Amino acid sequence: MPSIVQELSGQRDLGGLRMVMECPAEATVLREGPAQDSGVGAAWLAYLCPAHAVGLDGWPGAADHLDPGTMSCGTVLDYRSAEQQLQSHADLWLTSLTGVDPAAHDGWADVLDQADRVLLARVDEAAVAGEDSPLQNMLAFMDVAQRAAARGDLRVAATSLAYCETFAQGL
């Protein structure tokens, strides 16, 4: 018998594992995202505690299912294409953090290159002021994301942005 995750995802391969918020609670709800643009299965599955199941922006679901509480709140299984995951990162945190809007750029290599430059400049500014920037933790992963996108590997770029997303919650 397939698990509920296999069933809801249409048994697709997992595209990315994300932690979209810092919450110590165990999830009690498995939120089923909207259907994929093509084919079967949900675009994503999010594990949420009761508080976040009510008040979470950016993750509008198609349905909520009971979860036995085995995963941390904020865990998201993302089954979308790499490009769609990159867009989701932009919508949820990358554009507000860096000011770089994908709509104003020509492709993800360019977007991530610009975002990388913005972060680097901020870390440098902090260093000049004698401070350690919390953005520093993100730089190595943003650099990997940028170089992966430049060689056309959007899957690795999306995975690297998922690490950045986790750091972004601590800011």
23 binds Zn ion (CB under 5 A): yes
Window contacting Zn ion (CB under 5 A); options: 25-33, 82-90, 102-110, 163-171: 25-33
> What x/- string results for residues 34 through 73 when contact with Zn ion is judged by CB under 5 A?
---------------x--x--------------------x
Is residue 69 within 8 A of residue 27, CB to CB? The reply is: yes
Half-sphere exposure of 62 toward its Cβ, with a 13 Å CA cutoff?
A: 12
| Number of residues forming the site for Zn ion (CB under 5 A) | 5
Least distance to Zn ion from the beta carbon of 56, Å?
8
The span from the CA of 89 to the CA of 144, in Å, is 15
* DSSP H stretches of helix in the chain: 4-8, 50-55, 82-89, 95-98, 108-128, 136-150, 154-168
Instruction: Retrieve residue 62's tokens.
Output: 């198609």
Toward Zn ion, which CB reaches closer, 96 or 169?
A: 169
Residues found near Zn ion in the complex (CB under 5 A):
23, 25, 49, 52, 73
